[in-house]
Structure formats: C-alpha cells, structure tokens
Amino acid sequence: MNMEDRAAGPDRLLLVVVGVLLLVGLVMVQSASGPVAAEWYLDPWYFVKRQAFAGTVGVLGMAAVALLPYRWLRQQAWALYGAVAVGLVLVFVPGIGRTVKGAARWISVGAFTVQPSEFAKLAVILTVAWWLQRHQGRLQDLRGVVIPTLFIPLPLMVLVLMEPDFGNTAILAGLTLLLLSVAGLSVRWLGALVAVTLLGLGPAMLLASYRVRRWMGFLDPWADPSGDGYQIIQSLVAYASGGFAGRGLGESQSKHMFLPEPWTDFIGSVVGEELGLLGILMLLTLYGALVWRGFHIASRAPDLFGVMVAVAITALLGGQAFFNLGVTLGVVPPKGMVLPLVSYGGSALMCHLIALGVLMNISIHGTEDPVAALRPPRFAGDPAPGAAK
C-alpha cells in the first residue's frame, strides 16, 4: 500500500460522536445516580468520579492503540486473548475474584473492579480475524479452517458461561459467526452453524430458572409487577412521564428508588424521562452516526483483517446500544447490557474506548481502494496478476 493511499488521519466525525456520547454519559450518570450516591456515599458525584476516571484511562488507551503500527493489532491479538483467559480464571479465585448477586464476574483491583468478560469480546474479534486472515479465500476447507475457527472462542465462552453470564456468552458466539460471514463463509454453512449455536445455547438458557423468569417477565411484565416485571414496568412509566420533550434535566422521578440502579443498564429510561422523545432520538442519531462511520472505515480497511475487525466492532457497539434501548422499551428480552459510552460501568467503558481505538487505527491506515482488502493474498507459485493462465 502506498503512502498516497493512506487516510489523512482518524475519522474526525467518529471522534466527535464519541466525545459527545462521553459527555452525555457523564451528565446522565450524575443525574441518574446523584440522589442515591448522596444517600449511600454522602457524595452525589461518587459514580461520576469513578466513571470519569475509567473514561480517562479508556481515552488514553484509545489514543495509544490508534497510533500504534497497524501490524501490532495482529501481533498482539493472542497476547490479549491470553490475558483475558487468565482474568476469567481469576474471577473464581477467593480473595481476588468478586461475586455480586451470585455472579463471579469481577476482579478486585484496589478500590476498583475489572470485568474480564467485557474484554473477551475484543479478544475474540482480534484472534478470530487473525486466523481467518491467514486463511483468506480458503473457507471451503471445513476441517482445516472453519472448524478450528469455532474452537478459538470456545475456552472463553465456557469460562464466561460459568460465571454465569449467558448474555456475553451469546455475544461471543455471535461475533464469531459474524466474522465468518464477513470472511466469506457460504450461506449454507453459516446457516448450519447458526442452527448448531442456537441448539447449544438454548438448553443453557432454559436450565437456569432465573433466565426463564426473566423471559416470562418480558412476555408479560404485568403478571408479576412487583417481581420480574417490575423493572420493565417502571422503565415504561419513566418513558411515558417524559413524553415528547421530557420533564427536564435532573427532574426524573423514576431514579428516586423506583428504577433499581438506573445509572447502569436502564440509564436510557432516565434519558427518556428527563429529555423525552427528543433525547432518545438524539441518542439514536449519535449511535447511527457511529455505525455509519464504522462501516465506512471497514469499507476502506487495508486488508481483510481490518474489514472483519471494523465490522465486528461496529456491530458490537451499535448492536449493544440498540439492544439496551430496546430492553428499556420492553421490545427485547432483558439482559444486563450497558449503553455504550453512556451507562456507568468502568470495564465496559474502557473496553469500548479501546475497541474504538482499534477502529481509529484501521481508519488511519485505510486505503482509497475498497476492493483491495477483499483480494485473496498471493501464495508461492500463484501467477502474477494479468499473467496468462
């Protein structure tokens, strides 16, 4: 790739979108958590300070990753995978791991906690893309290429499911299938893999009674309004109270002990109540712009590895945003999934910013020839382009 083919720098519009979402997140975390933080910790800014610290670390990580040599993304993929695997084991070690509400998902680091399963998503994206790049154009080899691909995320999926965290396990499986699709796996085999994945994850969901109750609460929240349907009902009440223009910033009533921990998964409900439909449309516009720029970067990636990684990161962030808002609106089943860059959650925030740093790196090293990345690599003995066959 010639220097002339390289992009001038990181995608500026994407940087603006990320910056606006971070600012919106800090404002809304303070609004949603202030009353409870003042009561619990005697400091209404408690959660905002922690979020700002995680955001600062994440922004520094994003900048560092964006400016590293492009080949580093491939070279360090397995190092990240190994670190995540170790972290996922440590969550079960007494004195190191931290269990909350029966789930062992965190590692205690001083006054802060780290959730390795968040970083597992990026690790799977990079390692699976690395493997498929090495076998570009050879996905017809099921035994030598496709089946080994499925074993790459498997150890992390097993560890995440043991925490237990069914949602992130399903996300890891979905990311793997998405990468195979982008790499060019035939629709027939992709459909078969999707069916096998559903058959494998289905029993894992049904065997846990609390997951079944969540599903039933989603289908009919009014059947148990004080139990599994409570959070969805309170979220819908918050949206209804907000109307078109909202009650005003800081004026939410649902955050006063009605919505449990509204600064996390259900922060969208507070946005809807305080800023109304206009606030939700603002969020949807910002996430839509993020997805648009992400796919634009993918279309200009320097190779198939960059295409796969950019598509997967974009799908992860965009899909998680729309899924989170869908949960608060009661249109998709509930799952503990944060609103990217907005909800409170240090590990998720840092991971998402570092993933955006990878996306920026691909943007910096992009090419103006969108077809070049999809050309299979030449191997020894292959005829030169244009040579007579």
Please, what is the Cα angle at 240 between 340 and 266, to 5 degrees? Answer: 25
Instruction: Give how many domains the chain has, as a whole number.
Output: 1
For the chain, how long is the longest CA-to-CA vector?
A: 78
| Beta pairing partners, 109 | 112
Distance separating alpha carbons of residues 44 and 40, to the nearest angstrom: 9
Q: Which domain holds residue 57?
A: 3-374
**C-alpha to C-alpha distance for 255 and 386, rounded to whole angstroms:** 66
pTM of the model: 0.90
Choice among 13-27, 68-82, 361-375 with the minimum mean pLDDT: 361-375
pLDDT digits (tens, 9 = 90+) for 151-206: 999 999 999 999 888 889 999 999 999 999 999 998 999 999 989 888 877 776 66
pLDDT band at 29 (very low <50, low <70, confident <90, very high): very high
What's the rounded mean pLDDT across residues 87-99? 90
Please give the C-alpha separations between residue 274 and each of 26, 242, 265, in angstroms, as whole numbers.
15, 6, 16
Distance from C-alpha of 301 to C-alpha of 307, rounded to nearest angstrom: 5
Q: How open is the CA angle 32-34-36, to the nearest 5 degrees?
A: 90
Residue with tokens 């906690």: 113
374 band by pLDDT with thresholds 50, 70 and 90: low
Residue 385 domain-assigned (yes or no): no
Query: Taking Cα atoms as reference points, which of 171, 89, 72 lies closest to residue 124?
Result: 171
Residue in this structure with the two tokens 């609004």, named with its chain if needed: 31
Residue 379 lies in a domain: no
352 near 58, Cβ under 8 Å?
Answer: yes
Cα–Cα distance measured from residue 353 to residue 58, given in angstroms and rounded to the nearest whole number: 5
Q: What is the pLDDT of residue 387?
A: 42
The answer on pLDDT for 301 being more than 80 is: yes
Beta-carbon contacts of residue 249 (< 8 Å; ≥ 6 apart): 27, 31, 274, 275
- Return the pLDDT at 225: 78
Sheet holding 97-100, edge to edge: 97-100, 103-109, 112-114
The two counts, helices (H) then strands (E), for the chain are 14, 3
C-alpha span between 245 and 272 (Å, rounded):
9
Contact 282, 274 (CB under 8 A): no
Task: Answer yes or no: is 307 within a domain.
Answer: yes
Measured CA to CA in angstroms, residue 123 lies from 82, 381, 385 at distances of 9, 34, 35
**Is residue 44 in a domain?**
yes
The answer, yes or no, to whether residue 48 has pLDDT greater than 50, is yes
Q: State yes or no: pLDDT of 7 exceeds 90.
A: no
Report the chain's mean pLDDT, rounded to a whole number.
Answer: 87
Write out the two tokens for 379: 């191997």
Q: Residue 259 is which amino acid?
A: L
Q: Is residue 388 part of a domain?
A: no
Domain assignment of residue 386, yes or no: no
If DSSP codes are grouped into helix, strand and coil, which group holds residue 331? coil
Please say if the pLDDT value at position 239 is more than 70.
yes
Least confident segment among 73-87, 199-213, 345-359? 199-213
Task: Give me the amino acid identity at 115.
Answer: Q
Closest listed residue to residue 267, CA positions, set 315, 327, 208, 218: 327
pLDDT the model gives residue 276: 95
Please report whether residue 389 resides in a domain: no
| Residues 334, 218 contacting (CB under 8 angstroms) | yes
User: Among 224, 280, 256, which Cα is nearest to 39's?
Assistant: 256
CA dist., res. 172 & res. 187, Å (int): 20
Tell me the residue ranges of DSSP E strands in the chain.
Answer: 97-100, 103-109, 112-114
The pLDDT value given to residue 281: 96
Buried/exposed 219-231: b ≥16 CB within 10 Å, e otherwise: eebeeeeeebbbb
Cα–Cα distances (Å) from 177 to 186, 206, 262, 289, 373, in that order, read 12, 22, 32, 24, 20
Q: Is residue 135 situated within a structural domain?
A: yes
DSSP character at residue 181: H
Q: What is the DSSP string of 52-90?
A: HHHHHHHHHHHHHHHHS-THHHHHTHHHHHHHHHHHHHH
